[in-house]
Amino acid sequence: MKTSAIRRIAFLLFGSLLALHPALEAQDFKYEPTHADVRYGKYDRDVLDVFQVKTAKLAPVLIYFHGGGWLGGDKKSFNPDPILKRGIAVVAANYRFTTGTPDAAPYPAPMLDSARVVQFVRSKAKEWNIDPDRIALTGSSAGAVISMWIAYHNDMANPASTDPVERFSTRVTCILPQSDPTTLDPKLILQRIGGDHTVTGALLPFFGVKSLEELSAPDKQKLVAEASAITHVTKDAPPTFMQYVFPLGGTPLPENTPINMSIHHPEFGVMLKEKLDAAGVENVLQTAGDGSDPQAMWQFLVKHLKPEAAPSAK
């Protein structure tokens, strides 16, 4: 598949997901960034926006990574208003794409950039009135994969680094992945979820391959396992709230199922929940039509970040 076609698929997926997630929906926001396009790294897309809140004590922060198949999307799509109103600061970050830009690179480039975002935010905690011990991650689709990758990995702090940012921890308080593909293994996806046998064109540039056959090589399979969230769940994983916009059931899906549904199906959440439950990690799986409280995600976030009541945005 040509790069241009892959990028079109990614943008279609990204746009449809935004429309279904009110918290992420692009619109006219009430609040402007306190600090816009802050450079956190050396690559072309290594910039982030900061939305501070006025609190007497250091405020918790939610860091957002956008979706788009690691091929498109932008931090400016995120709506910070519901988060800020709850006394939680927001950081929305871009990261390297896997193709199409001067510094594009395959996995693990987007993940490494995003892990550095967590470290960079901690390095700026005092300046930005942020509590470095109360950090949550969220994102939709590709951004959710990034959030889980950081959260479930061992701490990536390097105390001996000559770069002071790299000395900070990447551990977080909780995560809220939305429409998250919890495995990137095409065989497992087809087995548990079904759908289009091409799975999604975004996987090919993500792993730097030209075909699914090439991705089945042993060295590439190691990368697939390394990139998949379900590989890294341990008993010290942070509390996790998974939210999906499609209902459970109907799997394995027929081959003519739209890719947007098959790659974001809540069966992915079931797979992750199995791992989290086995490890004894607190988790919630919310799907369309399950009758759960629409405010449950916000309640979960407030429970773990413990913000001050009704502050004003800065």
Residue 264 per-residue DSSP state = T
* Residue 235, Cβ density class (10 Å: 0-12 exposed, 13-18 middle, ≥19 buried): exposed
The tens digit of pLDDT for each residue in 261-311 reads 999 999 999 999 999 999 999 999 999 999 999 999 999 999 999 998 655
pLDDT at 64: 98
All residues at 6 or more sequence positions from 236 whose CB lies less than 8 Å from its CB, including other chains:
none
Adjacent-strand bridge partners of 90? 51, 62
DSSP string, 90-159: EEEE----SSSSTT---TTHHHHHHHHHHHHHHHTTTTTTEEEEEEEEEEETHHHHHHHHHHHSPP---T
Yes or no: say if 238 and 174 are a contact pair by the CB < 8 Å rule: yes
- Write b or e for each residue in 269-296: b if 16 or more Cβ atoms lie within 10 A of its Cβ, otherwise e: bbbbbebbeeeebebbbbbeeeeeeeee
Average pLDDT of span 2-31: 46
The tens digit of pLDDT for each residue in 51-77 reads 999 999 999 999 999 999 999 999 999
Q: How many CB atoms lie within 10 A of CB 159?
A: 8
Q: How far apart are CA 15 and CA 12, in angstroms?
A: 5
Could you give the maximum distance between any two Cα atoms of the chain, in Å? 56
* Tally of helices (H runs) and strands (E runs) in the chain: 11, 10
144 — pLDDT class (breaks 50, 70, 90): very high
What is the rounded radius of gyration, in angstroms, for the C-alpha atoms of the chain? 18
Helix (H, G, I), strand (E, B) or coil at 185: coil
Q: Is 195 left (phi over 0), alpha (psi -120 to 50) or beta?
A: left
pLDDT at 28: 60
Yes or no: say if 118 and 91 are a contact pair by the CB < 8 Å rule: no
Q: How far apart are CA 138 and CA 142, in angstroms?
A: 11
pLDDT at 151: 98
User: Which two tokens mark 254?
Assistant: 């027929």
Mean pLDDT of the chain: 91
**pLDDT of 253 strictly over 80:** yes
30 — pLDDT class (breaks 50, 70, 90): confident
The tens digit of pLDDT for each residue in 186-238 reads 999 999 999 999 998 899 999 999 999 999 999 999 999 999 999 999 999 99
Query: Backbone phi, then psi, for 131, in 5-degree steps?
Result: -85, 115
